[in-house]
Amino acid sequence: MEERRKTIVVASMKKEDTSWLSKRLLDWDKKIYIVDDPSAELTVPLNKGHEAMVYLTYIIDHYDSLPPYMVFIHAQRYQWHNDDPVYDLHYPLLHLQLPHVEEHGYANLRCTWLLGCPAEIYPKKQASLHPYRSYNLDGNITSYEAYLHAFRELFPGKKEPDEIGVSCCAQFAVTKEKVRERKRAEYERYRNWLLETPLPDDVSGRILEYSWHMIFGKPPVYCPNAPECYCKMYGLCGLNCPTERSCVGRYNLPT
């Protein structure tokens, strides 16, 4: 039996207040994972890889009963990741157009190109500038340096991209059909990589942040036209958009 028609999957910690989700968005089912509480009703095998461990755990555990639509988010209502003038995640979730998600299968919740697009990581170039060295946990390796080797482990046999581009910050909507284009075993392999890699927590999580769009079938550089994105995904049509990258009054990177 499948779950409710649409589900919000939340990566949170004990200190974070997620009560705003239960007070609003009443037509969404909520799966709130607490990564740093082993006794929580919903938790993860290991608090590692930031939100990626939650997202993969949800997909693996619910693979046979996925709802038609899923949104994967961070816990805080107000955060700079959110593509909103006041960084409020409630507005994008409230106005998310499911037909747009259905059409594309995967949709990043950010339309602005600021941070991540048109390209963020150059795996071959950065790996050649910083020769790959053994993974370790002392934090002296970056996601840029590690990405090429990680890509080979995550996507064995796939052509190594010259560029990776997608708007940050690992919050997205996806359909059941798109998730199931990959077998459960593949998501288990991604999670095992997270569990076993000696890469630092932030580095392994960021590598997945810049891989979700490819996991869900998009090309290495996936930067949709921002005005079209705002219109079709949130119903915000007719905005003043001088370029394809952003629209006036929608998002500014906070200092």
pLDDT tens-digit readout, 188-223: 999 999 999 988 899 999 999 999 999 999 999 999
pLDDT average, residue stretch 240-253: 95
Upper half-sphere CA count for residue 8 (Cβ side, 13 Å): 26
Residue 246 in this model has a pLDDT that exceeds 60: yes
If you average pLDDT over residues 117-127, what whole number do you get? 94
| Predicted model pTM | 0.94
Query: What average pLDDT does the segment 15-39 reach?
Result: 93
Identify whether 226 is part of a domain.
yes
240: tokens are 């003043």
Is 201 within 8 Å of 80 (Cβ atoms)? no
Q: Are strands 29-34 and 69-74 parallel, antiparallel or unpaired?
A: unpaired
Q: Where are the beta strands (DSSP E) in 162-245?
A: 172-175
34: in domain: yes
* Domain carrying residue 67: 6-234
Length of the chain in residues, anyone? 255
User: Do the Cβ atoms of 11 and 59 come closer than 8 Å?
Assistant: no
Q: What is the pLDDT of residue 127?
A: 85
Across 61-90, average pLDDT: 97
Domain count for the chain, please give it: 1
